[in-house]
Every structure is written in C-alpha cells, then in structure tokens.
Amino acid sequence: MGEFTGSIAVDWDGEALFRYLSDVSNLTDYFPRLTSAEPGPGDEVTTTANLPEGGVVSADGWFRVNEDARRIEWGAVGTNDYSGYLHVTESQDGSLVELHLHTTRAADDDADVQHDIDETLRNIKRLAQHRGAVS
C-alpha cells in the first residue's frame, strides 16, 4: 500500500488558487497523467489517465470540495483503492499546497508515483506564476 505526500509554496492568494484547483475542468492542467475529467451528478467524476507502465485507465470516482477548509478530496473504489487530498493554506508569501495520495497499486517507495506528486505540485506553481491562468 502506498502513501505519498508533497507540498510546495506558491506565490498566489490562497482563495483564488483554491477556486482554480477545485474546478474539475482544470484537473488536467495540473495532474500530469490525467487526460480527461468530467463532472457528473453530485460529487461524481469520470476520469481518464495514462498509467506509468503504459496503457490508459478510465474510472468513475468522487471529487469533494470543502471550501471552508480549502480542501479537495477525491478517490475511486476498486482494485487500486485510490484516494487523495489537496489542501491549500495561507502562508507568509502566498499559499502552501499540500498533496497526499493513497493507492494499493504501488508501494510507499514507488519513485514513479512520487515523481507524479512532485510534478503535480510543480505544475500548480507554474500555473500560479502565469497569473493569467489562475484567476
């Protein structure tokens, strides 16, 4: 079972950043393997992603936004027991983004998954630096 975390400081207002990150239509902008994300009724979402070992997977899952806590939670029930959260907090210089991922598909020391976590966080920072993308 794999547990992966990462965080990054972002020079952007936490409220604006969270608003952008919590929009399902923006997920493919910052999650590197995600190729599509379509909202369904309630908290349902359908996603398609490229797998690290090759191939493509589509899954129905959930995507929950807690605006008061600036926390996004997502997951899909199935053989990979996949779930995660992203939390945005204010910091002295802008915002801090924390990302956590749980999956039974990979061990804790899986370098590919940790690389994807780090790349996701770098993508968020890059998008925030191009302030026109995060509004």
- pLDDT tens string 10-22: 999 999 999 999 9
What pLDDT was estimated at residue 79? 67
Inter-CA distances, 73 with 20, 56, 69, 76, 129, Å? 15, 22, 11, 11, 24
Count of the separate structural domains present in the chain: 1
Tell me the CATH number at 90.
3.30.530.20
Q: What average pLDDT does range 115-135 have in this prediction? A: 84
41 lies in some domain: no
36 lies in some domain: no
Q: What average pLDDT does range 117-131 have in this prediction? A: 92
Cα–Cα distance, 120 to 125 (Å, whole number): 9
- What DSSP letter does each residue of 17-34 carry, written as one string? HHHHHT-GGGHHHH-TTE
Range of the domain at 95: 2-30+63-133
Is residue 134 scored above 60 in pLDDT? Answer: no
Which one has a higher pLDDT value, 46 or 57? Answer: 46
76 lies in some domain: yes
